[in-house]
Structure 1
Amino acid sequence: MIECDSQQPPSSPSLRIGVVGGGMAGSTVALRLAELGLEIVLFEEGKTLVNGPPICHLHAGGNLYREISDQQCITLLHQSIDTLQVYPHTANIRPTVIAIPKRDKGSPDALLPRLKKLQHEYASLVEQQPSKKVLGSPSEYFKLYDRAALEALTEKEIPDAVTTLDDWMIPVAKNLNLDEFKLPLIIVQEYGLSIFRIASTVTLAFEKLANCRVLTSTKVIDIQPRTNSQGWEISYQSRGQAADSVHVDYLINACGYRTGTLDDMSGFKRDRLVEFKAAYIAHWPECHGQWPEVIFHGERGTPDGMAQLTPYPGGYFQLHGMTEEITLFKQGLVSSSSSSAQPKLNSLFNRKLTDRWYQNEIERRTDKAIDHVAQFIPAFGSATVGGNPMFGAQQIPGDDPTLRAADVSFAGSRYARAEIVKASSALAVADAILEQLKEESLLTSGNPIKAATYGTETAQQFSITNTLAPDNITSLAEEFAISRACPAELARPVGTLSIAKTSITKS
């Protein structure tokens, strides 16, 4: 159990907020509210914060998902920009290449209207607020490469350092058989997101916030509404200690895929889906140069499902393959029922979530992921297993499995659910809850927040988080990676924000 001490004097507010679940959503909401001076109690059953599904992609525009609406893509763009402003040291600054195999039913031309719409939206945001220019110049949000441009790149040397989109594209052009793809290829300023540096950022920030009490290795065993709708009584048990309880004035359910368990305790009904997913770590020391992320589009759930190659330092790559033999699983998508708001995964997935993977499972699925990518990058076939899978169960509110832009819902009195599907939506949850606290008249003169910061740009309201040193964030992130049986390289930065703002030569 971690108790947070601080160099900052507490603001002694009378409003106490309980946040159950220390994943991306719960930790971000707790940090947002604690930075404003509110008293927070954060409960997390695991030993450390921000575990869960394999976060690796910012989703600044939702370009991985052809099936979602344009509005979801625009929402993800807004949320991703806010995330980069608040968590700048958690981003891996490298673009993403979108390639469409000839066997796929899609076409590059079909993607262009959405990309242009996102580019226009990004330009409008930057014009209104220049600090939102975190994805490079809006005029260079994406770029197309036809066959002639790609063949010209194959004649160039792979640079030691990358400064242009062309530099990022060189290893792709040299390794893909262009005859197998519908051209042009598209490169877009979609960056990576480090789950380990997010975990270290929030952990280090909480250590400096006296008004935030973080209880890790702690299970919430019951919640009960107090009389006259005056908040909630949370009963909990920390590992090796007797059960205890605490009164909170407002309760935020941020339990991730287990959000339905608190709904059941409180008697609230809610339709939701839960999907188990995994990504795999491969080591390809023979790779040359710095790679962008590469997405090979395909039909989800079929043997030709999308392949995703996410680069890290040292020749390590995180792999997704949207097939039932790689990232997706048979019976891995379950729904709530009339008797419970909590979807029930079977014992196979519960064993993976709470205990361990068998070694033969790790090797078999990682090898299949390597083969899936090697269809398009033959040299990648020499890659080997590079670490344990990154996995978790993802909640999806409602009954639409394609939903990607989701944030928060409210029920009863003083009760909110953080229901993010993508990590970049976490700040939207915090802001929506702030508005709800105002609507319920809980932020009054008797429950002050830092008036000097509230109402300014979001990034400026994280005064403690902004003081964290990048080296300290990375050092602790490496410890988290190793403790989760992953290579330390997965915690190390790729690129810098200055690269995103470098002038890029157009073709």
Structure 2
Amino acid sequence: MNKTNSTKKTSKVGIVGGGVAGSTIALRLAEIGVEVVLFEEGASLVNGPPICHLHAGGNLYREISDQQCVDLLKQSIDTLRVFPHTANIRPTVIAVPKRDKGEPDALLSRLELLRNTYHSLIESDANNKVLGEPSDYFKLYDQDTLIELASRDFPSTPSSLDDWMIPVAKNLNLDEFKYPLVLVQEYGLSVFRIAATASLALSQMSHCKVLTTAKVNHLEQCESTSQWNVHYQQFDSTLGDWVTGYEHVDYLINACGYKTGTLDNLAKLPRERMVEFKAAYVTHWEHSQGTWPEVIFHGERGTPNGMAQLTPYPDGYFQLHGMTEDITLFPKGLVSSTAANAQPELSAPFIKKLTQHWQQDEVDLRSARAINHMAQFIPEFSSATIGGKPLFGAQQIPGTDPSLRAVDISFDGINYARTEIVKASSALSAADAVVDKLQKLQLITNDQHTSLELSFPITRSLTLEQVENFAEQLAEQRHYPSALARRVAF
């Protein structure tokens, strides 16, 4: 790819926020030769909500539309094509307890739609075949089949769909569920390997300046040129103090995550949105056996019987979600913007968690609740212990629908965009939309249509060993077990 001819070197794009959305857009633009400056308030890239799932079909969320599920499938396939080292290649099992009002059959038409969509995507481009064979996208299991699987030995490494179901069959009380159970190829994502990929790739790109510990505090837009002056403060570790600076950019992208409204306020471009604080809990199950898939136990959100999510990692570590207000959700943890303020205001206890630390007694209490919630379905899990501090963050949701999951970016004002992703797999879609917008504005020209893979030559040159090693360092720097950064399967 001829980068010298693909873009105008005079254009510069400012991206405020180095989370998964901002980092992905920075990678996309810098790879094609666009000059980028990336501002990140934290010490490293891609911090935030507890990313753990690819959502290749969105079947965890039975309340969302079929179209959102198709969008998530397509976005997830793109993510796997560009960032293969970030995925944990293992399926997801969906189980509906008898106590739940839902029925497994309600998922079947959606699963058929997604399988057919996946097949069509492969027919249009063979590179889309990243979730295995379309015929294996999902498989249904009745109780008799699971009883037979429970009699089998654990395989050393799962080599079939049935192998993945053996730990589930052996550990669940099979009489407590509605049938069929569903195994679907919705893989996992590693937040630490996403962070490592972004950090390592951007460090090799001369077109991208990364400013960490840099807080944007003022914006000015020139009326005649529509360009932006971005003023910021950055902590200088050599001086041990804050220094001020500014960057002049042709286009500004607000990728501030849950703080997106703060930058909207500075730009005087209001937007209706919500912010929700969530947490997941790191546990260690010393006596776990076999290689587990992810397991989702459906339940009504916000009730004591809310969905339970078991996400496996190496060495007996499991991340837990429990969609109750005592575990993953929080009373008054969902807040909305107002006519006077585009930034939804979380209360002081949430801000303290986000910026300082949790109280240890709350970590212990909520982690214990998460373990007990999971032990309802996997009795042996009651022996699990706390494996580390919670994974937590605040998630923005544009508009007023808290069930929205598939969304990417909005454009507002002049030379201004805001990323609005809810799921990490939507980040590439946002990046592509930015490229299209910049082309239409003639800020960049791209005279060569190319594949996804060829659009990310530097990013894709990273080896799995490089990514995994750096991801382990990031996990340890952030005081999490290094196992959370390692691959679950091959």
TM-score band (shorter)?
over 0.9
Aligned to 1:439: 440
**CA drift at 1:457:** 1.3
What is the CA–CA distance in structure 1 between the aligned matches of 2:210 and 2:111, rounded to whole Å?
41
Of 191, 195, 198, the match for 1:199: 195
Task: Say if 1:320 and 1:327, in contact at 8 Å, map to a contact too.
Answer: yes
The alignment status of 1:467 with 2:461, answered yes or no, reads yes
TM score, norm. by length of structure 2: 0.97
What is the CA–CA distance in structure 2 between the aligned matches of 1:348 and 1:60, rounded to whole Å?
34
Aligned to 1:259: 260
The alignment status of 1:20 with 2:16, answered yes or no, reads yes
What is the CA–CA distance in structure 2 between the aligned matches of 1:9 and 1:229, rounded to whole Å?
25
The amino acid of 2:405's aligned partner reads R
Aligned to 1:119: 115
Aligned to 1:295: 296
Three-state SS of the structure 2 residue aligned to 1:300 is coil
The amino acid of 1:216's aligned partner reads T
Three-state SS of the structure 1 residue aligned to 2:457 is coil
The amino acid of 1:476's aligned partner reads F
Task: Say if 2:8 and 2:443, in contact at 8 Å, map to a contact too.
Answer: no
Task: Say if 1:12 and 1:211, in contact at 8 Å, map to a contact too.
Answer: no
Aligned to 2:398: 397
Aligned to 1:3: none
Aligned to 2:472: 478
The amino acid of 1:396's aligned partner reads I
TM score, norm. by length of structure 1: 0.94
Aligned to 1:132: 128
The amino acid of 1:415's aligned partner reads Y
Tell me the alpha carbon deviations over residues 340-388 of structure 1, each in whole angstroms, 9 at most, x when there is no partner.
1100000010000000011111111000000000000000000000001
Matches within 5 A, 1:33-432: 33-239=29-235, 240-432=241-433
Tell me the alpha carbon deviations over residues 382-430 of structure 1, each in whole angstroms, 9 at most, x when there is no partner.
0000001000000000000000001000111100001100000000001
Three-state SS of the structure 2 residue aligned to 1:227 is coil
**CA drift at 1:229:** 3.6
**CA drift at 1:132:** 0.4
What is the CA–CA distance in structure 2 between the aligned matches of 1:215 and 1:164, rounded to whole Å?
45
What is the CA–CA distance in structure 2 between the aligned matches of 1:457 and 1:280, rounded to whole Å?
38
The amino acid of 2:170's aligned partner reads K
**CA drift at 1:230:** 2.9
The alignment status of 1:492 with 2:486, answered yes or no, reads yes
What is the CA–CA distance in structure 2 between the aligned matches of 1:411 and 1:147, rounded to whole Å?
53
User: Which moves more between the two structures, 343-352 or 239-248?
Assistant: 239-248
What is the CA–CA distance in structure 1 between the aligned matches of 2:463 and 2:70, rounded to whole Å?
31
Aligned to 2:238: none
RMSD: 1.3
What is the CA–CA distance in structure 1 between the aligned matches of 2:186 and 2:458, rounded to whole Å?
27
Q: Per the alignment, do residues 9 and 387 of structure 1 end up closer, same or farther by CA in structure 2, a change over 3 Å counting?
A: farther
Tell me the alpha carbon deviations over residues 57-105 of structure 1, each in whole angstroms, 9 at most, x when there is no partner.
0000000000000000000000000001111000000000000000000
Three-state SS of the structure 2 residue aligned to 1:394 is strand
Alignment gaps of 5+ in structure 2: 236-240
Three-state SS of the structure 1 residue aligned to 2:392 is strand
User: Which moves more between the two structures, 301-310 or 224-233?
Assistant: 224-233
Three-state SS of the structure 1 residue aligned to 2:167 is helix
**CA drift at 1:227:** 2.9
The amino acid of 1:494's aligned partner reads V
What is the CA–CA distance in structure 2 between the aligned matches of 1:381 and 1:431, rounded to whole Å?
45
**CA drift at 1:308:** 0.0
Alignment gaps of 5+ in structure 1: 1-7, 497-507
What is the CA–CA distance in structure 1 between the aligned matches of 2:208 and 2:348, rounded to whole Å?
35
What is the CA–CA distance in structure 2 between the aligned matches of 1:298 and 1:241, rounded to whole Å?
48
Tell me the alpha carbon deviations over residues 88-137 of structure 1, each in whole angstroms, 9 at most, x when there is no partner.
00000000000000000011111100000000000000111011000010
Deviation above 2 Å: which 4+ runs of structure 1? 8-12
Tell me the alpha carbon deviations over residues 211-234 of structure 1, each in whole angstroms, 9 at most, x when there is no partner.
100000110111111231431000
Q: Per the alignment, do residues 60 and 271 of structure 1 end up closer, same or farther by CA in structure 2, a change over 3 Å counting?
A: same
What is the CA–CA distance in structure 2 between the aligned matches of 1:184 and 1:95, rounded to whole Å?
16
The amino acid of 1:213's aligned partner reads K
Matched pairs, number: 482
Tell me the alpha carbon deviations over residues 471-497 of structure 1, each in whole angstroms, 9 at most, x when there is no partner.
11111100111111110000001123x
User: Which moves more between the two structures, 50-59 or 476-485?
Assistant: 476-485
Three-state SS of the structure 1 residue aligned to 2:163 is helix
**Percent identity at matched positions?**
60
Tell me the alpha carbon deviations over residues 246-274 of structure 1, each in whole angstroms, 9 at most, x when there is no partner.
10000000000000011101111110000
Aligned to 1:31: 27
The amino acid of 2:461's aligned partner reads T
Three-state SS of the structure 2 residue aligned to 1:106 is coil
The amino acid of 1:386's aligned partner reads G
**CA drift at 1:9:** 10
Three-state SS of the structure 1 residue aligned to 2:233 is strand
The amino acid of 1:464's aligned partner reads I
The amino acid of 2:188's aligned partner reads G
Three-state SS of the structure 2 residue aligned to 1:402 is coil
**CA drift at 1:12:** 7.9
The amino acid of 1:335's aligned partner reads S
